[in-house]
Structure 1
Amino acid sequence: MTSVTRPLAPIRLPANQPPQFYRGGAAIAALRGVDATAREFGPEDWVASTTTMFGQDTHGLTRLPDGRWLRDAVRADPEGWLGAEHVATFADSTALLVKLLDAGQRLPVHFHPPDTFARRHFDSHFGKTEAWIVVGTHGDDPRVHAGFREPQRPETVHEWVREQDAPAMLDALNTFTVRPGDTVYIPAGLPHAIGAGVFVVELQQPTDFSLTLEWRDFLDDPDRGHLGLGFDTAIEALDTSGWDAERLATLVRHTAGAEGSTVDLLAAGSAPYFRADQLRPDPVLVLDPSFIVLVVLDGAGTLRTERDGGLDLARGDTVVVPHAAGELELAGALTAVRCRPPAPGRRGGR
């Protein structure tokens, strides 16, 4: 029997910015402390990614320092990377994709399919539910758009798409200003757009299924908007219900100023899909074994495991931690976001 060398140590990752159709990336560069002028269309940094861009073989994947794709390393030893309980539910999938996303311009109005639709049309176990943790803003009016204010008839949506009536689409959506510390949970099917000047840590299911209602001035081909399904089929996955203020409040949290070494960041409905919390050691924080994607937002410190001397951390670092690293000790004057898959045994889907 071939023995498996278990991954035991956290791994610092470089930026991983596959080409996108929209502008942005200056806030990512500033966080990482690198030159922001080299790229205009680097608005997304896919952190610890085992997911490829739609229709691509390797674009989007994270490469480890030893030259392997993280995807291949996880497949070679899923229990070492993810833990036995996770594997019992999700097999060798991390069940998670984390991005740094800096919108240099407003993103188009779009939505993502739920698990059942993705299984039927894309042969995928996962749709694309996501959540945004706002970590920075710039400009005069950083805002996001999410959910129709009133119920919409599918025929109306089809007309908007046919005419590419962006003003009507935006006017139909809820819109609100955001600031650092706000978090927004985006269930699959919910129409949404991130506005210019909003910088987020985004958690999502590990796919790249975006169905784009507003493709003109963003995509070079309308077929990319419906991912080859046709808009008639794609809109079957759209949530056309109305989201009033009370309902919308179930998606949004305001965590700025929250005290404590560990702060749960996301709305309760996101728990079957992913977990995220803010970590501020005071002075030391002990973390249970888990597959973790860590994003250091400020300060400096160390991350030690049960078996190694530790990894020095500083603002802008992104780190992947395998489950087999065991119990962790996070220390120092720093602020970080810990991103994890759902708790073992839990998974979403509709």
Structure 2
Amino acid sequence: MSAPHAPLRLPANQPPQFYRGGDAIAELRGLSASASDFGPEDWVGSITTMYGQDTNGLTKLDDGRWLRDAVRADPTGWLGAKHVEAFSDSTGLLVKLLDAGQRLPVHFHPTDAFARKHFDSHFGKTEAWIVVGTYGDDPRVYPGFRETLSRKTIDEWVREQDTPSMLDALNSVPVTAGDTVYIPAGLPHAIGEGVFVVELQQPTDFSLTIEWRDFLDSPEKGHLGIGFDTALETLDTSGWDPDRLETIIRRTAGAEGSTVDLLADGSGEFFRADQLRPAGPLALDPSFAVLVVMDGAGTLRTEHGDELTLSRGETLVVPFAAGATELSGDVTIIRCRPPAPERRT
């Protein structure tokens, strides 16, 4: 029997979404199903519900408890004392597997300050994408406006639902596995068809969708009830030229080493992600973490004597109280963690 805070394998957790996708998730997990049977997002180690819902989105543990409730019952054991001091009983993190079976709409997310004011939340929704696979003719992403735009222009596009103008105004960046894109709160963006990512986010579901027609039932779902006039106050309308864009994009496909930091500078205030590929036994410090096994097979051992075999497609949550761990084997893992407590004030 495992210790109370041993690492735990997690089942797929795919709440219903408004867009198509999911076959890449099924393939990674070794399941046979169509995209319509699964879903484009798998919320991994989630204490977050879909916006306005009671439980959809939450991770359920094998013992029947929501992970959210387990963490609240023992935040220090799950998260560590320093994390609890900084973030209370929130993990500070939401991880998703996201398989875009169609292009996502143009949208953006609120900053922390905006979320506190309008959504009574300590967290906004900064996010990052780790591209782990692509398919189709032209996989690409759309981060930020190419040139600075006036609020009047954007108001007109939203009112008219002028999708061609919205898309044309965004940067269009082809991607392949190993590319990572950091998306600060407020940055307009979309993910194109055929892009499969491990996505890190702050633990909220606040999406302000300016391209709502053909995706959402009503404009109210686009602005989450606060009105587009208010929502657009947190939109980054500044231009992101190629030099500026390079500050949020990394190309890590050829990176070597047992531990590779995957995300752009500046993202550490919100979350951390690294690729683990041990050349021999790899020691890992105590930390709350979500693990996604991308390839191969290996073993995770804890200082308390727990030992888990790992294989491609598995997802796990590791509590802080698991202590120091050791990873070995011919395995590739993406490790997702909240920010170090000292990185947030």
TM-score range for the pair, normalised by the shorter chain length: over 0.9
- 1:277-316 paired onto structure 2 within 5 Å: 277-316=274-313
Given the alignment, which residue of 78, 81, 88 partners 2:78? 81
1:270 aligns with 2:270: no
Other-structure match for 1:16: 13
1:93 aligns with 2:90: yes
Shift of 1:7: 3.5
Question: If the length of structure 2 is used for normalisation, what is the TM-score?
Answer: 0.98
Q: Quote the Cα distance in structure 2 between the aligned partners of 1:41 and 1:145.
A: 25
Partner amino acid, structure 2, of 1:215: W
Shift of 1:37: 1.9
Q: Quote the Cα distance in structure 2 between the aligned partners of 1:10 and 1:316.
A: 16
Given the alignment, which residue of 155, 169, 172 partners 2:169? 172
Q: Quote the Cα distance in structure 2 between the aligned partners of 1:206 and 1:38.
A: 25
Shift of 1:308: 2.6
Which aligned runs of 4 or more in structure 1 are off by greater than 6 angstroms?
A: none
Shift of 1:284: 1.2
Q: Quote the Cα distance in structure 1 between the aligned partners of 2:266 and 2:191.
A: 20
Partner amino acid, structure 2, of 1:70: L
Q: Is the 8 A contact 1:7 1:80 kept in 2?
A: no
Q: Is the 8 A contact 2:298 2:327 kept in 1?
A: yes
Q: Is the 8 A contact 1:8 1:307 kept in 2?
A: no
1:153 aligns with 2:121: no
Q: Is the 8 A contact 1:135 1:200 kept in 2?
A: yes
Q: Quote the Cα distance in structure 2 between the aligned partners of 1:100 and 1:152.
A: 32
Partner amino acid, structure 2, of 1:187: P
Shift of 1:221: 1.2
What SS class does the counterpart of residue 341 from structure 2 fall into? coil
Given the alignment, which residue of 135, 138, 142 partners 1:138? 135
Shift of 1:347: 2.1
Shift of 1:40: 4.9
Q: Quote the Cα distance in structure 2 between the aligned partners of 1:83 and 1:262.
A: 22
Shift of 1:222: 1.2
Shift of 1:283: 2.0
Shift of 1:344: 1.8
Q: Quote the Cα distance in structure 2 between the aligned partners of 1:231 and 1:145.
A: 21
Partner amino acid, structure 2, of 1:203: L
Other-structure match for 1:62: 59
Question: If the length of structure 1 is used for normalisation, what is the TM-score?
Answer: 0.97
Q: Quote the Cα distance in structure 1 between the aligned partners of 2:201 and 2:140.
A: 20
Other-structure match for 1:216: 213
Question: Any idea what the Cα deviations from partners look like across 1:176-196, whole Å, max 9, x if unmatched?
Answer: 100000000000000000000
Q: Quote the Cα distance in structure 1 between the aligned partners of 2:207 and 2:108.
A: 6
Partner amino acid, structure 2, of 1:306: E
1:204 aligns with 2:208: no
Q: Is the 8 A contact 2:144 2:171 kept in 1?
A: yes
What SS class does the counterpart of residue 71 from structure 1 fall into? helix
Gaps of 5+ in 1: none
Gaps of 5+ in 2: none
Q: Quote the Cα distance in structure 1 between the aligned partners of 2:306 and 2:93.
A: 28
Residue range with higher mean Cα deviation, 212-221 or 300-309: 300-309
Other-structure match for 1:333: 330
Q: Quote the Cα distance in structure 1 between the aligned partners of 2:203 and 2:65.
A: 19
What SS class does the counterpart of residue 141 from structure 1 fall into? coil
Q: CA RMSD in A?
A: 1.2
Question: Any idea what the Cα deviations from partners look like across 1:236-292, whole Å, max 9, x if unmatched?
Answer: 010000110110100000000100000000001101000000000112111000001
Given the alignment, which residue of 27, 30, 33 partners 2:27? 30
Question: Any idea what the Cα deviations from partners look like across 1:202-236, whole Å, max 9, x if unmatched?
Answer: 00000000000000110011100000000000000
Q: Percent identity?
A: 75
